[in-house]
Structure 1
């Protein structure tokens, strides 16, 4: 029973902290006149793109079911929520950085970085599900960080 209480505290405590962070962030952005049309466009586009990532994750889970792998509903929903929120945040961050830079990021570098992140997360998640060992997900952290750095670092020009 203690694990379930800790899970409830984590679930609702995390949601509460997330909502408070979002609210304070928007309040500060409003004071600095940061909630303009460009901001709305960037985050609307990010939400739209994140649904494509969520759709891919749904197809991956359906494929795993067709291959006979048993999946836990809570695990699947948790991973789908993580995929959706992470892709939304990362896409919004990339678009925000790209719109505020003098020289925009090269789309090929961004796509390459996102591909590294997606392939590593999908591979290690499938490996974790098939083996039942969730420690494999920790191995996905280094390639994910490398992919993010690759996607968000502008190309250096030598002058």
Structure 2
């Protein structure tokens, strides 16, 4: 029973915090005159990219089912929702940073960082599903942070 209560708190509390964060950030951006065509383009492009990533995660989940891994419907939906929202936010941050930097990020660094995050998430998610121990997902946090830092940090030149 306590797991269900914590699950409900996490589900609805997370949604409430996400909506409040979205609303406050839009207010701040609006005050800074940031809600323009570039902003809309960046986040529209980010949503488009996140759907491709979500499609890949759906194929991975279907492959797991084909190979005999039993996954509950709630778990599948949670994974797909997490992948979609995380990829939307991460690609939006990358595109926003790239548009607002004096020197744009190198696509190879961004792809490398994103691939670290993707491989880490896929590996530890599959490991968690196969073993039934969801604590393995915590082990994916350090590689994900390294991948994000790698993707979002511009390359430093000694000439500058």
The normalised TM-score by structure 1 is 0.96
| Residue of structure 2 in register with 1:38 after alignment | 38
Regions of 4+ moved over 4 Å: none
- Structure 2: 5+ residue runs without aligned partners? none
What stretches of structure 1 of length at least 5 have no aligned partner?
Answer: none
**Corresponding residue SS for 2:104:** coil
CA–CA separation in structure 2 for the residues paired with 1:2 and 1:145 = 31
Determine the C-alpha separation between the residues in 1 that align with 2:140 and 2:3: 26
Structure 1 counterpart SS, 2:105: coil
What's the counterpart of residue 65 of structure 2?
Answer: 65
Secondary structure at the aligned position of 1:38 is classed as helix
Worse-superposed segment, 90-99 or 129-138: 129-138
| Structure-2 change in CA distance of 1:9 and 1:139 (3 Å) | closer
CA distance in 1, matches of 2:39, 2:55: 25
- Name the residue aligned to 1:2: 2
> TM-score, structure 2 length as denominator?
0.96
- Number of residue pairs the alignment of both structures matches: 159
The 5 A counterparts of 1:57-96 are: 57-96=57-96
CA distance in 1, matches of 2:153, 2:2: 44
C-alpha RMSD of the superposition = 1.0
Q: 1:143 matched to which residue of 2?
A: 143
Residue 103 of structure 1 pairs with residue 103 of structure 2: yes
Q: How big is each residue's C-alpha offset from its partner over 1:52-81, in whole Å with a ceiling of 9 and x where there is no partner?
A: 110001000100010011001111111111
